[in-house]
Structure formats: C-alpha cells, structure tokens
Amino acid sequence: GSSPSPRPAAGCPQRRLGPRERRDLQREILAVLGLPGRPRLRAPPAAARLPASAPLFMLDLYHAMAGDDDEDGGPRERGLGRADLVMSFVNMVELDRALGHQEPHWKEFRFDLTQIPAGETVTAAEFRIYKLPSTHPLNRTLHVSVFEVVREQANRESDLFFLDLQTLRAEDEGWLVLDVTAASDRWLSNRNEDLGLRLYVETEDGRSVDPGLAGLLGRRAPRSKQPFMVTFFRESPNPTRVPR
Amino acid sequence: AVRSLRRRLPKKTNELPQPNKLPGIFDDIHGSHGRQVCRRHELYVSFQDLGWLDWVIAPQGYSAYYCEGECSFPLDSCMNATNHAIVQSLVHLMKPDAVPKACCAPTKLSATSVLYYDSSNNVILRKHRNMVVKACGCH
C-alpha cells in the first residue's frame, strides 16, 4: 500500500531523554569540546582580566575563526590555516639587563608551557611585544632580534639560538611580531628545557640599545599592551581519547 | 522501454542526499500519521546557566544540533533522501528482521570554536571540526 508500515523502527532507536540523561549528555558534549570542568584559576575574575593583551588578541582570533566555522572548513579556511588549537601564554618571568651602561642590553621572557595537551604539533608560534615611539635613539633604524635560551651557564653568557630578526624605525608604534616557531617546537618535545626567549635591540652600526628605551614594553606596561606568546597547534591525526 | 528511459535520465545520477530543511510553515513535520519526519533538533548547553562564563570567554553556549525523526518513504511522498535510503526503507518493509530502517543522520557538518582560560590563565582557542550538524537527512 501507499502508507508506511505500522511496525516500530528497527534501525535507529529514538526516545526522549530523562533529565539526568540530558545532564549527562550535556557533560559529554562539554567533554568533547575540551571543557571537562572548571579550572582552578589563580587570578581575579574574568572581568578584571579581559582587557589584557592576550585575551583581546585571542578574542579577535576567535571571531575570525567563528567566521570560518560557518563556511564548512576545509580548503576555504582563512587566517588560522590548519590550526586546531591556539594557546596564548602569559609572560611569567621577565629578566632585564638594561640597568646602567653594561652592554649588551637584553630582556628575557619566560612562559609556563606545562598546560599544553599531549598529541599536538606546533604549526607556528609568535612572540608579540608592543613598541611605543622612541626618541632615543632619534630617527634611527633598529634591529630587534629574538633568541631562544638553550643552556644557562654559571660563569658565562647563556647559550642562545637565533630565532628571528625584525627591522624597524625608532619612531614606529604597534605590535611587533617575532617568529618563535623553532623554539616552541623544541619546548614541546622537551618540556623541561623551556628556558625562555631573549630579546636584543641594536642600531644599524651594531650598538646595543636598552629595549625599554627603544620603546618595547614589558610586564609593567598597561595590561592591553603586555607581551605574550601565541602558539598554533595541529591535533595529531589519531588523538588519544580517554574511554568514557 | 529501458533504452528510452536511459535517454531521459539526467547526466548526474549519483547526487548527494538532499538535506532535510528546517521546519517552515509548509513543512509536514509530523508526517501523515502523526510521526515526526527526520529533521534537525537542538540541545542547547548554556555556559551561562552552568556558571562557567568566568572562564569560558566565548561563546555563551553551544547549540548541540542532532538529527531525529522517522525515515519513512510512502510511495506518494516527496522523497527527500538518497535512492539507497528509499530502497532500504522498501526492503525493510518486506524484511523488517533482516534489513533495518534507513537512519535519520547528519548530512552536513561544520566546525565550532571555544575560547577559554586554563588554570595558568593562558587563553586557549580550540577548534572542533565536523562538530555542528548543519543539516539532517535519511541514509
């Protein structure tokens, strides 16, 4: 006949969920989203933290990514490339050798990378530091270079590994983005060897400049202009899932 | 008859399933026998209700869409499914114990992203591919 059979569906079980099952299902969905529970935050509520530089940058990234999400993903993806996970790292420790006339001047930045989940591959990493216009040195070209601290030595300079160099004018203002992918990659494979990043500023004739005097802002800067690191990860093809 | 029929066949015969539309004023959601046709449903998980918005920065909640409903194809109906699903439904009518009914399942998925703090106050942006059901259909 033209009407469907009155027999119950044999293939797909369909039933309403009870309130407890519904709650369990919500927990499962959150776990799938990587939100298994509330973290133990070490800082004041989000309202006080939101104007900080890293969350603001990440929120911009989220809006860009949300636009991509609506478009099925795949080859049309923009901006974030192949990244599944983006983490920003707050600068935990800042060391300075900019006091007095001792040269060369440098600034060192350290980050807590212990929270990176297993099974991720680094696709890119950036160190972002804000630069204000500087009148010292006046009308000069500056070279800003960043190094990974590979080994600390007791009685001499630390061993460094060159990562990136940017050339700019002393009067320039804005976010300076330095490529630190190589260091992030190494830190991910050897998590105990995270000794930080070291920043040098030089004039064209090779004279060392105090990064602070060159206009580069550190931890004492306004929250929206503090330096941070952002790392882009790609999930491994076969992520290990906890049985649930 | 076969020869003439072949001539009239469209070139593209292996089309992907037509997704079921979201219910509109002309949609027969409950079908002709009070049963709900295969369509998209929503289970909204509110991060605000859970009190998580102090550490989940965005979004405010997650729409977990899922597919639910009957995959029945009366012969006079507009068949919103693959040929395979229609044939499977007909064979199911003949041999219900041997062949299961066609399933109401997602036909189109998209990604979603979540932005949140971890316990070190680092901010994490995580993208989940093939997470959001955009359309449902019968398979």
CB contact under 8 A, A33 and B124: no
Residue A236 has pLDDT above 70, yes or no: no
What local confidence, expressed as pLDDT, does residue A201 receive? 93
CB contacts, 8 Å: A30 with chain B: 45, 62
DSSP one-letter code for A75: G
Helical residues (DSSP H) of A33-80, grouped into ranges: 46-49, 53-69
CB contact under 8 A, A4 and B43: no
CB contact under 8 A, B118 and A115: yes
Cβ neighbors of B134 (< 8 A, separation 6 or more) are B19, B65, B106, B108, B109, B110
CA distance A64 to chain B (A): 10
CB contacts, 8 Å: B34 with chain A: none
Q: Which of A79-93, A119-133, B24-38 has the lowest mean pLDDT?
A: B24-38
Residue A179 has pLDDT above 90, yes or no: yes
For residue B44, the chain A residue with the least C-alpha distance is: A26
CA distance B125 to chain A (A): 5
CB contact under 8 A, A11 and B103: yes
For A91, the 3-state DSSP assignment is strand
What local confidence, expressed as pLDDT, does residue A129 receive? 96
Q: Where are the beta strands (DSSP E) in B69-103?
A: none
What local confidence, expressed as pLDDT, does residue A39 receive? 65
pLDDT tens per residue across span A188-214: 887 767 778 999 999 998 889 989 989
CB-count exposure of residue A176 (10 Å: 0-12, 13-18, 19+): buried
Q: Give which of B26, B81, B77, B61 is closest to B132, Cα–Cα.
A: B61
Rounded Cα gap, residues A87 and A171, in angstroms = 31
CB contact under 8 A, A62 and B113: yes
Report which listed range, A22-26, A78-82, A175-179, is most confident. Answer: A175-179
Report which listed range, A61-65, A74-78, B73-77, is most confident. Answer: A61-65
- Could you tell me the end-to-end alpha-carbon distance of chain B, in angstroms, rounded to an integer? 30
Rounded Cα gap, residues A179 and A170, in angstroms = 20
Residue A136 has pLDDT above 90, yes or no: no
Give the distance, in angstroms, between the CA of residue A189 and the centroid of all CA atoms in the same chain.
17
Torsion angles phi and psi, residue A53, rounded to 5: -60, -45
